[in-house]
Amino acid sequence: MTHVVILGAGLGGVLMAYEMKAKLGPSNKVTVVNLGSTYSFVPSNPWVAVGWRERDDITVDLGPIFEKRGVELRPEGARRVHPEENRIELNDGRSIAYDYLIVATGPELAFDEIEGLGPDAHTQSVCHIDHAEKAKLAVDQLIKTGGPAIVGAVQGASCFGPAYEFAFILETALRRAKVRDRVPMTFVTPEPYIGHLGLDGVGDTKGLLESALRERHIKWITNARLTRVEAGKAIVDEVDDAGTIRRAHELPFTFSMFLPAFRGVAAVRGVEGLANPRGFVIVDKHQRNPKYPNIFGIGVAVAIPPVGKTPLAVGVPKTGFMIESMVTAAAENVAALVAGREPTAVATWNAVCLADLGDKGIAFVAQPQIPPRNVNWSSSGRWVHAAKIGFEKYFLRKIRQGKSETFYEKLALDALGIRKLKEIHQELAG
Ligand SMILES: Cc1cc2nc3c(=O)[nH]c(=O)nc-3n(C[C@H](O)[C@H](O)[C@H](O)COP(=O)(O)OP(=O)(O)OC[C@H]3O[C@@H](n4cnc5c(N)ncnc54)[C@H](O)[C@@H]3O)c2cc1C
């Protein structure tokens, strides 16, 4: 019997558990080690922060579902991976041995890298449901008092879509509460231009997002380095193309939300050969770690180099569709190894994203990630908002049913008759 352990039960880890178990069957064992026993749909957090979703709407108790699927759940969380011993040390001091390990631990949020950043200091976050619930209280207060709002991402961040999304969602919520006229808004980002997204733009994301910001009277600062946050004040240096400070800003705020930089989790950070200096798992094209070939990495936990040089550090986003492609490749490769074959599956890592703008949205498809591309498409409209809701419902249903079928955004888009994407997907599949 082969024992496969999956570390992390987020978007990648849960899908991985379903796919892995379906491939390996009852004669092999699949265990998931997670921090807690609940799955939470991270993409809905911006909606939680404005009260459009409650915690119960977007969380799933994994215990009974995993039990039904024959997957063991260990909610203690991992303290350290010991790859030389094929062993994971759990937070309660006990250990689990594995034959194959798949690291799917997502990001550790590096709030501590900037003074005053984060929900324990002066800014809000939507990266975790607990943060989003806390941000909701701050949004309620903003609606009562009015005052300036700043939304954005910090240097080194690699997740820009949710920052834009939250700016537009907040703007919509303020408009609906009829207090938008009392809240001047600014979007602050290290990207060299609006719509770069860590991908050097996709289609016309620059034009689409600039236009959406202009339409909604949200000012912006690009090439922005957040140096420090004080109570009610963000200290921001705007740099030029050479990285030299062009203008120093002191931005007062009543409300602020910044996406932090990510790093790998402590359980793998510093494990020589497994993780890079930032703690992200080093993988080859088969999602496999070169030094420890029985360890694979998927999702935000893996190391991906930036697409090009920018004045400030701007990371590549790891979006759901890309993560799903990593899951499928890793599951196939582990199953091949268990069957005595060599791994051959390679993930496409295509970036497909639906960004909600509150009442409409922007969608893009980038393949490959680094331009010039074979597919470089973006579009906007009310259908994206509808598609995002459809995707949320579809995805949560899959998690609740414990299905290994993982069409992610593709199916939601196809179901809505988005022909251009369907053609693109058919093209990619062919
Ligand atoms: C606010 C936000 C919105 C997003 N919206 C979208 C979107 O609309 N579309 C899209 O495609 N992508 C989106 N993304 C990007 C990406 O799809 C998500 O971040 C996704 O949740 C990443 O999946 P993951 O499995 O890599 O990590 P996660 O979903 O973060 O899961 C990691 C899991 O590992 C567990 N874990 C961590 N440390 C340990 C440990 N030591 N031991 C055991 N378990 C551990 C955590 O508890 C968690 O369950 C968004 C990201 C953010 C932050």
Instruction: Tell me: do 240 and 140 sit in the same domain.
Output: yes
Instruction: Tell me: do 234 and 310 sit in the same domain.
Output: no
127 is a catalytic site residue: no
CATH number of residue 68's parent domain: 3.50.50.100
Atom of ligand 1 nearest to the CA of 33: 43
Instruction: Tell me: do 185 and 307 sit in the same domain.
Output: no
Q: Please list every protein residue whose CB sits less than 6 Å from any atom of ligand 1.
A: 7-13, 33-35, 42-43, 45, 77-78, 104-106, 126-127, 159, 162, 265, 267, 299-301, 319-321, 323, 353
Instruction: Tell me: do 88 and 121 sit in the same domain.
Output: no
Last residue of a domain, one of 313, 348, 383: 348
> Does some domain include residue 272?
yes
Task: Please report the pLDDT score of residue 70 as a whole number.
Answer: 96
353 is a catalytic site residue: yes
Atom of ligand 1 nearest to the CA of 299: 26
Q: Which residues contact 120 (CB under 8 A, 6 or more apart)?
A: 111
pLDDT higher than threshold 70 for residue 420: no
Instruction: Tell me: do 147 and 170 sit in the same domain.
Output: yes
pLDDT higher than threshold 90 for residue 94: yes
Spot the catalytic one: 159, 173, 224, 268: 159
Residue 337: name the closest of 403, 301, 292, 273 by CA: 292
Mean pLDDT of the chain: 92
Question: From CA 352, how far away is CA 121, in angstroms rounded?
Answer: 33
Task: Please report the pLDDT score of residue 410 as a whole number.
Answer: 52
| Neighbour-count burial of 33, counting CB atoms closer than 10 A to its CB (0-12 exposed, 13-18 middle, 19+ buried) | buried
Beta strand ranges found along 240-332 (DSSP E): 245-252, 255-259, 262-263, 295-297
- Provide the 10 A C-beta neighbour count for residue 249: 15
Instruction: Tell me: do 124 and 205 sit in the same domain.
Output: yes
Task: Please report the pLDDT score of residue 282 as a whole number.
Answer: 98
Last residue of a domain, one of 348, 373, 401: 348
Task: Please report the pLDDT score of residue 409 as a whole number.
Answer: 45
- Give mean pLDDT, residues 380-390: 88
- Least confidently predicted of 47-61, 248-262, 372-386: 372-386
Spot the catalytic one: 30, 353, 365, 424: 353
> Does some domain include residue 361?
no
Which single residue is written with the structure tokens 């390990």?
Answer: 101
Q: How confident is the model at residue 364 (pLDDT cuts 50, 70, 90)?
A: confident
Instruction: Tell me: do 271 and 249 sit in the same domain.
Output: no
pLDDT higher than threshold 60 for residue 417: no
pLDDT higher than threshold 50 for residue 429: no
Backbone angles phi, psi at 265, to 5 degrees: -75, 160
Question: From CA 21, how far away is CA 28, in angstroms rounded?
Answer: 8
Both tokens assigned to 122: 């002066």
Please state the domain count of the chain: 2
- Give mean pLDDT, residues 292-320: 93
CATH number of residue 158's parent domain: 3.50.50.60
* 3-state secondary structure (DSSP) of residue 221: strand
The residue nearest atom 6 of ligand 1, judged by CA position, is: 43
Instruction: Tell me: do 126 and 253 sit in the same domain.
Output: yes
pLDDT higher than threshold 90 for residue 422: no
> Does some domain include residue 355?
no
pLDDT higher than threshold 60 for residue 411: no
> Does some domain include residue 428?
no
- Give mean pLDDT, residues 366-387: 83
Bridge partners of 74, per DSSP, are 33
Instruction: Tell me: do 78 and 153 sit in the same domain.
Output: no
Q: How far, in Å, from the CA of 106 to the mean position of ligand 1? A: 5
Last residue of a domain, one of 260, 284, 315: 260
Both tokens assigned to 424: 């693109």
Question: Which residue out of 5, 6, 7, 11 has the highest number of ligand 1 atoms within 8 Å of its CB and is therefore the one to mutate?
Answer: 11
Instruction: Tell me: do 221 and 151 sit in the same domain.
Output: yes
> Does some domain include residue 399?
no
The domain containing residue 105 runs over which residues?
3-109+263-348
The residue nearest atom 48 of ligand 1, judged by CA position, is: 10
The residue nearest atom 16 of ligand 1, judged by CA position, is: 319
Residue 368 preceded by cis peptide, ω within 30: yes
Distance, CA of 301 to chain centre: 10
pLDDT higher than threshold 80 for residue 111: yes
- Give mean pLDDT, residues 352-381: 84
Question: Which residue out of 76, 126, 300 has the highest number of ligand 1 atoms within 8 Å of its CB and is therefore the one to mutate?
Answer: 300
| Neighbour-count burial of 364, counting CB atoms closer than 10 A to its CB (0-12 exposed, 13-18 middle, 19+ buried) | buried
Q: How far, in Å, from the CA of 407 to the mean position of ligand 1? A: 18
Q: Look at 238 and 355; give whichever has higher pLDDT.
A: 238
Residue 51: name the closest of 143, 187, 147, 162 by CA: 143
Q: How confident is the model at residue 413 (pLDDT cuts 50, 70, 90)?
A: very low
